Chains A and B, each alone.
Chain A
């Protein structure tokens, strides 16, 4: 079955760059968008952005200046970078397969990232 697995540091220092990678198994990367969504502790969901298999991207304007998402189809991975992080970026980060109409159909288990001062 389709599985997504996030990996990366669980602790990032304030003002540094958060980097996460998502490994996709059981699904072709083509014909889908690949998203990152985050959830601060005890709060709701926030869409960060997505990348298409071609490399085209779309970001949430609220984060656009600090975010980049890339894809490596040969490695079956896609990645997230968030620069100049603050405590407000502490959250569980989910990588998510995205079908048409921005429907998020398969989610990774999530990885908690804490920004420390």
Chain B
């Protein structure tokens, strides 16, 4: 069981908006930056969002991030078939003295 809790799966149809949550505690998401990664099946993960809501240059603005208290969220607007992937959140954890990842969320585009 991961310290950062994500829903195992979410789904949506093309054009819809989906949101993936990442719930932690004061020792991780409540204090430190939350980063998000996308992993298409069979590929290496790719950076998607830094410090809650900063997108790398290669990420379209359909993707957005937010954080409130000890929870963070990733929103994907205008869902496309190429968005089908696993999504992981990550943050530093003071108690574990390590970077920790959420268990991952599988996004299915119906």
Residues of A bordering B, CB below 8 Å: 44-47, 60-62, 94, 99, 101-110
Q: How many residues of B sit at the interface, in one of the four size bands? A: 20 to 34
Cβ-defined contact, A101 with B99, below 8 A: no
Contacts of A105 in B (CB 8 A): 47, 50, 56
* B44 interface contact, C-beta 8 A: yes
A interface footprint on B75-107 (CB within 8 Å = 1, 0 otherwise): 000000000000010111000111111111000
Contacts of A103 in B (CB 8 A): 33, 35, 47, 50-51
A101-B50, A104-B90 known, 19 other contacts, Cβ within 8 Å: A44-B2, A44-B102, A44-B104, A45-B101, A47-B90, A47-B100, A60-B98, A60-B99, A62-B98, A94-B44, A99-B50, A101-B35, A101-B51, A102-B35, A102-B92, A103-B33, A103-B50, A108-B44, A110-B44
